[in-house]
Every structure is written in structure tokens, then in C-alpha cells.
Structure 1
Amino acid sequence: MVAVKGSKQYKMRVVPYRPLYAVTIAAVVVALFIVAVLGTYQYGNYKGRELQAEAIAERDSLRVEVREQTEDAERLRQEVANLKLGAQVDRKASEDVRTEVIDLKNKVAELQEVISFYKGLMSPTANKRGLTIGSLNVISTGAGRRYEYKLVVQQLATNHKMLSGFLNFKIVGRQGELPMTLSLKDVSDNVSYDNIKLRFKYFQTLEGQLVLPDGFEPQRIELLAKSSGKDSVTVEKKFGWLVQES
């Protein structure tokens, strides 16, 4: 054999020609691939069902837990609502009791004042007889400078007779820097004259509303009552400007 210089020589081997062998190998490879795919699918399907079952079980467990937590939260909310309602009821009851006690105390004070008033009328002391200026109340109406007033003029005597006379009602204060005196008729629609007519046997009540002018600052109320007749009596009394809340 003549060798060609410069080229690499490879050994040659004779292989028998078997066409079915290659087909068989290919079929086996394909079968193994299919088996592997089917096995993987079945395994994945099995694991998927297993994971799904676990997820469903966990979901059901969470649902139960959420339901229990919701019931507990609702129960706690109801307990809080009951406690709040109980506290409100207790507070309202306490306020009602306190208000009732205050009202009863005020009524007792009013009754004691009325009893003292009538005792004074029917059984006056020796140095406290004749025409007398009793109580004066000025009450706020809550409407600007409008007030209610109530004045009692009375006759203290053991033998009451009809008493006539007049009452002069003045409000003393300041308008800015200047002193000013207002008659009741200047600020009240209930009075038409400076001298208010008096005529009573036991007592007379003067009441109504008054409106102070803007800028006027009241300081006191000055009252002068005078009975008519031969035993005429003049009584004067001053009250500081004190307003009661309605």
C-alpha cells in the first residue's frame, strides 16, 4: 500500500449492516422517554392532588379559625357595648339623682323662704313693722341685655289694713365714663310712670322684663317706697346688681 505523505491515516473496521437494530434502539429510547414523561406526569399529578388536599385542609382550618376569631371579636364588641351602655345608664342615673337632689333642696329653700315670708307678714317683730321692701330678683333670659325682674313690697302688721302708695325703681350705673341713672319705665314695657302705684293689704309683687341700653353698665338698684295717708312711711333700699341664671 502506498502511503500518501502528509495525511493522517485512520484504522478501518468492518461493521455488520443491521437496519432493524437502529430502529429498535430508537423505539426503546422513545418508549423510555414516554414512560419518563408519563411517570413525571403521574408523579406531578399525585403531588398536585396531595398539595391540593393539604391546601384545602389548611383553608378549612383557617376558615374555622377565622370564624372562631370573628365570633370572639363579636362577643368582645358586645361586651364592650354592654359595658358602655351600663356606664351611660349609671352616669345618667347618677346625674338624674343629683339633679333631683338639687331640685329638692331648691324647693325646700323656697318653701322655707315662703314660710319665713308669711311668718314675717303675720307676726312681725316690734322694730320691723309697716311698709317694707322685700326680696328683689334679677334673672338673665339668655337673650342679650334682656332680664326679668321680680320685686316684692309687703306690709308687716298684726292688723292688716289696705295700704296705698307708690314705688320708685331706679337703676344706677355708667354710660362709658359718665354716671347714669335709668328709671324702670325707661327700660321696661311693663311700667309707664316713674312712680309705680302700690295698693295691697299683705304684699304686692312687681314683675316683668327690662332691656338695658348698649354701653350701659349697671352697678346697683335703688328703691324708694312711700305709703300715703296720715301715717305716711317712706322706705329706701339699695341692691347691688346681681343677676341670677335662669
Structure 2
Amino acid sequence: MASTPTPSHPARNWRIALVVAIALALAFGGWGLWRVLSPASTDIRAQLADSEAAREQLQSEHEELQQRVATLGRSDQISREANRELQGTLAERDEEIAGLRADVAFYERLVGATAQRHGLSVHALAMQSQSVQARDGTAWHFKTTLTQNLNRGAVSAGQLTLEVEGTNGGKLQTLDWDALRQQPDSDGVAYSFKYFQQVEGDVFLPEGFSPVRVTVHLEPRSGAAIEHSFTWAEATGAAGSAATELE
């Protein structure tokens, strides 16, 4: 009876290795499937989803807060601008009230029941430099207030001229009306009023001339001439108060 041949050792070893490899593959596959389908894996996926949702919510809240900050900043800027405009308006109103009070005081002194009687006189003079150059000189705008309450209801009329004293090149010099107007035989500025009037015009001072005193001359249609002098510092320093006294 013939015997069954015995497999060689290399073939048998190969088969054993193949069986072991298949068993290991099945084991690892089963372990991976268990990890995927296990409750712990489900919890991790849920945590990841929750984390993503939380991140999106935080991002949305952050953007909303940024928008609120921008809105509040703009609102604060608008409030500041409105406050500055209000402060400016209040300052203007205060100036107007001060001017009106000065007007009332002036009118009371001039026409009030207890006002002292004065004939034609120069109440105030203001000189203000202009940014105008003419014939090597500088233009100055003058504004003078004339008053009278001696003859109530009577009209005072005439002409007004100026004269300025000063120095030029270290020498005393007086500029009459023609020189100040830079034209010969220049007419004075006409005035006509019952109680008061502001008379204004322009004169020109030559280059290098340093004024010291300015005199207002009044030539009424009837009666004696009247003049009143102001130092140049008084005339230029009174520009603000005199300009607002009757405006």
C-alpha cells in the first residue's frame, strides 16, 4: 500500500503565515469597526459638532459686539458734534444778549427820562485795519457814533472828517482829510439824525507812518464846528466794543 506524500516544510510555513496574516487583518478590522460604532466615538463626533456650533455662535456674537461698538462710537461722535454746535449757538446768543443789553443801556443814557442833555457830540470811534494796499499805504475803516439829545426831535446834519497825527521817519506829521482820502478837495462823510447815528468810511495811511492820535471834526449845517480827539490806542482798542454797541 502506497503512503501519502508529506508536504514540504516551506509550503507548510507559507500557509501558516497566510492564516496568521488573515487573522490579524480580521482582528484589526473588527477593532476599527468597534471604534467607529462604539458609543465613545459617537460622543466625540457630537463634541466636535457642539464645538463647531459654539465656535460659530461666538463668531456671530463677536461680529455683533463689533457692530455695537461701531454704532456706539458713531453715536458718541454725533453727540459730541451736536454738543459743540450747541455750545457755539449758546455763545452766539450770549453775545447777542450782551449787545442788546448794551443797546438798552445806551438808549437809556441817551433818551431816558433821567438822561443828561448833551448837544452834538462824538460818542465813540473805532479804527480797523483792512487788508487793502493803495498808493503805498494801508486802508483803515473807521466807524464813529454821533449823538445829541439836547434838542429832542430836531435833526442834526452836516459833514464829518478825520485828521490823524503821528510820525514818519522820526518827524511829526499831520494828515488832513484830503491826505487820508488820497484825493484833493475830498468831501466829508454826510450825517443826518435826531438822536444818534453811526458814520463810517475808509481812510489810507502812507507807508512808514506811525499814528498817535485821531481827531473827528464835525461841520454842522448850523452852529459851531465840533471836534473830539482819541488816542490811536483808544481808537483801535475800542473796535470790538464800539462795533457791537449799536449793532
Q: TM-score, normalised by structure 2?
A: 0.64
Equivalenced residues, count: 225
The aligned residue for residue 188 of structure 2 is 196
The aligned residue for residue 229 of structure 2 is 237
Q: 2:16 aligns with which of 19, 25, 46?
A: 25
| Residues 116 and 192 of structure 1, relative CA distance in 2, 3 Å threshold | farther
| Residues 234 and 77 of structure 1, relative CA distance in 2, 3 Å threshold | closer
Of the two, which has the highest radius of gyration? 1
The aligned residue for residue 13 of structure 1 is none
* 155-164 or 167-176: bigger deviation: 155-164
| Residues 138 and 119 of structure 1, relative CA distance in 2, 3 Å threshold | farther
The aligned residue for residue 133 of structure 1 is 122
| Residues 171 and 53 of structure 1, relative CA distance in 2, 3 Å threshold | farther
Unaligned runs of 5+ in 1: 1-15
* 235-244 or 154-163: bigger deviation: 154-163
| Residues 22 and 232 of structure 1, relative CA distance in 2, 3 Å threshold | closer
SS at match of 1:68: helix
Is 1:63 the counterpart of 2:69? The answer is no
SS at match of 1:232: coil
Instruction: Please report the RMSD computed on the Cα atoms of aligned residues, expressed in angstroms.
Output: 4.3
Separation in structure 1 between the aligned mates of residue 35 and residue 132 of structure 2, nearest angstrom: 87
Q: How far off is 1:103 after superposition?
A: 0.7
| Residues 176 and 18 of structure 1, relative CA distance in 2, 3 Å threshold | farther
Q: TM-score, normalised by structure 1?
A: 0.64
Unaligned runs of 5+ in 2: none
| Residues 118 and 184 of structure 1, relative CA distance in 2, 3 Å threshold | farther
Amino acid at match of 1:31: I
Is 1:220 the counterpart of 2:213? The answer is yes
Identify the structure with the greater helix proportion.
2
Q: How far off is 1:186 after superposition?
A: 3.3
Identity of aligned residues (%): 15
8 A Cα contact 1:224 1:235, kept in partner? yes
